[in-house]
Amino acid sequence: MDKILSVLTPEEYVYLSLRALYSEYGYKKYRMSKFEEYDLYAKNKDFLVSESAITFTDTDGKLLALKPDVTLSIIKNSKDINGVMKVYYNENVYRISKGTKTFKEIMQAGLECIGDVSADTIAEVLSLASKSLGVISENNVLTVSHLGVISEVLNYASISNDKKEQVLRLLGQKNLPEIKNLLSNENISDDKKELVYSLVTVYGSPEKVCDKLDGFAVSKEAIKCLGELKNVISVLKSENANVIIDFSVVNDMNYYNGISFKGFIEGVPTGVISGGQYDNLLVKMGKPYKAVGFAVYLDEISRVKGE
């Protein structure tokens, strides 16, 4: 056994450990074929991290694509779910690399819960995200946000729809100076502006941030969302997870809603885990379910783990 362990590359070791972790929690491995009909990706283009896919024509003339994403396929094939379908996957996906502008193969692992997703399911997924980070390195942090809170605050501040998108983009950059700039000519009270600014400045450990969160309780919906956020935070805290509340974790609201999160490892320049609730995507795809999940990007890990 030791002999086998000694030849594993860091990615393989991490992947096998993740697999053991996910099966322990009752998740089933999901296998998929290498290609899908291109139509699936064309319809949900903005959901994909990468702009385009490698396409080719099948013998019957159908346009196929090498999969740039796994989540869409899992959703497409989800039907007759009783309760919650819990799956995990480890697949190669094909995306455009930002540097070379050419396609590259990326190993991606991930986990999805689809169906009757409850608060407990969401908490379990976040706790598994945090444990996944722990498998890679102890020096990790899971940053958690709630899109519902952000959306309610922006509504309350009566920010027009065209500005909203810009505010969200700037929030993702923690770009306070530009947000101030953008709102400077808006006819909005200073209190409301300050509340929008605090989406950037309210950041840190739950202990540090907790009492500031109540400032966002601007509507019934916002109070409900804050409750959901506090629930997952308290579950994560009870497991001694390294967790940070950070509203700069924003995902496209056309697909995502509710809890959103990103996981980081010290020494890895980009996030290694990205996930959240994506009920809106299921609505778009005509599925009567709710969903939550995350992806783990294994390609950057070898650098921290060493050989």
CB of 307 to other proteins, least distance (A): 19
Nearer to other proteins, 202 or 285 (CB): 202
27 DSSP assignment: P
Nearer to other proteins, 31 or 98 (CB): 98
Name the 3-class secondary structure at 45: helix
- Contacts (CB under 8 A) with other proteins, residues 193-212: 203-204
**Alpha carbon distance 209, 201 (integer Å):** 10
215 DSSP assignment: G
**DSSP code string of 103-163:** EEEEEEEEEEEEES--HHHHHHHHHHHHHHHHHH-SSEEEEEEEHHHHHHHHHHTT--HHH
Instruction: Determine if 268 is a binding residue for other proteins (CB under 8 A).
Output: yes
Q: Is 239 within 8 Å of 130 (Cβ atoms)?
A: yes
CB of 169 to other proteins, least distance (A): 10
CB of 208 to other proteins, least distance (A): 10
Q: Which stretch binds other proteins (CB under 8 A): 1-9, 81-89, 145-153, 266-274?
A: 266-274
**Which tokens sit at 103?**
């396609």
Q: How many residues make contact with other proteins (CB under 8 A)?
A: 21
**Alpha carbon distance 206, 212 (integer Å):** 10
Nearer to other proteins, 9 or 139 (CB): 139
Encoded one letter per residue, x for contact with other proteins by CB under 8 A and - for no contact, window 115-154 reads: ------------------------x-x-x-----------
Which residue among 17, 137, 155, 175 contacts other proteins (CB under 8 A)? 175
Q: Which stretch binds other proteins (CB under 8 A): 120-128, 150-158, 169-177, 273-281?
A: 169-177
CA distances from 36 to 62, 63, 127, 306 (A): 10, 9, 31, 35
CB of 282 to other proteins, least distance (A): 27
Name the 3-class secondary structure at 289: coil
Task: Please give the residue ranges that form the binding site for other proteins (CB under 8 A).
Answer: 139, 141, 143, 173-178, 203-204, 244, 248, 264-271
